[in-house]
């Protein structure tokens, strides 16, 4: 039996995904043509100014760019089959003039050349709507780290135990609670006449207070 590392929690998975957005150089980008022909292309990218966006560069005539002009659905995959980041997203064309300077600089460093020097280049502004992250089978559960464009909100920690105030504490003179006795099952009895009146003298004689 293959042993795997312990499954990561949601916060760790999110951190790992954002680190990949920052550090990875390339991604597989999948689009579909107007006649629903699937296309898959490896593209270099940087993390955008929006911090949750990806900005790959490609030729204006590249089928991937054509498929999302002016906008369209894409799927992006990072990593290998034992460390998967799968992104569902919407992409739109970003012209060179609309590319933030810091994103252009970062992409030039990654590529070793500045794509802004090539007017035939455009950029895809990819905004994720869903992100899945898993490594092995034990991480398939809980792999959705982004849903509807929102990272999951961390659950609030349980409230700490509060020591009761003095007036809430039981008094030492308080009588002990009555013991709990088992209740006999109820039995339905059909009365044919009214019950006899209870004699007070009989109650006293029986020793009741």
Tokens 């760019």, residue? 65
In a domain, 195, yes or no: no
In a domain, 183, yes or no: no
Strands (E) located in the chain: 26-32, 38-47, 54-59, 71-78, 84-94, 121-134, 144-146
In a domain, 178, yes or no: no
In a domain, 202, yes or no: no
Residue from 151, 113, 115 nearest 132 by CA = 151
SS3 at position 148: coil
In a domain, 193, yes or no: no
Angle CA 61–65–67, to nearest 5: 110
Question: Which residue segment(s) compose the domain that 87 sits in?
Answer: 10-146
**% pLDDT > 90, the chain:** 46
Contact 65, 57 (CB under 8 A): no
Encode pLDDT of 151-188 as tens digits. 875 544 445 555 656 665 555 555 555 554 444 444 34
In a domain, 177, yes or no: no
- Has residue 43 got a pLDDT over 50? yes
In a domain, 208, yes or no: no
Structural domains counted in the chain: 1
Q: What CATH number is associated with residue 41?
A: 2.30.110.10
- Has residue 3 got a pLDDT over 90? no
The C-alpha R_g of the chain, in whole angstroms, comes to 35
pLDDT value of residue 120: 82
Distance CA 123, CA 44 (A): 10
Encode pLDDT of 185-207 as tens digits. 443 434 444 444 433 333 333 34
In a domain, 120, yes or no: yes
According to the per-residue pLDDT averaged within each range, which of 34-43, 93-102, 145-154, 178-187 is highest?
34-43
């Amino acid at each position: 039996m293959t042993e795997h590392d312990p499954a990561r929690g949601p916060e760790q998975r999110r951190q790992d995904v954002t680190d990949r957005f920052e550090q990875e150089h390339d991604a597989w980008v999948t689009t579909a043509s107007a006649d629903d022909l699937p296309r898959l292309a490896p593209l270099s990218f940087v993390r955008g100014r929006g911090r949750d966006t990806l900005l790959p560069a490609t030729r204006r005539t590249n089928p991937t760019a054509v498929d999302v002009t002016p906008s369209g659905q894409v799927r992006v995959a990072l990593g290998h089959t034992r460390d998967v980041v799968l992104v569902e997203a919407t992409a739109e064309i970003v012209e060179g003039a609309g590319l933030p300077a810091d994103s252009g600089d970062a992409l030039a460093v990654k590529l070793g050349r500045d794509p802004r020097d090539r007017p035939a280049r455009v950029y895809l502004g990819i905004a994720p709507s869903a992100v899945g992250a898993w490594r092995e089978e034990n991480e398939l559960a809980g792999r959705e780290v982004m849903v509807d464009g929102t990272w999951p909100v961390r659950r609030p920690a349980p409230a700490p135990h509060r020591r009761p105030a003095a007036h809430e504490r039981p008094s030492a003179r308080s009588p002990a609670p009555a013991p709990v006795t088992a209740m006999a099952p109820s039995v339905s009895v059909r009365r044919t006449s009214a019950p006899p009146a209870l004699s007070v003298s009989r109650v006293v004689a029986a020793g009741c207070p």
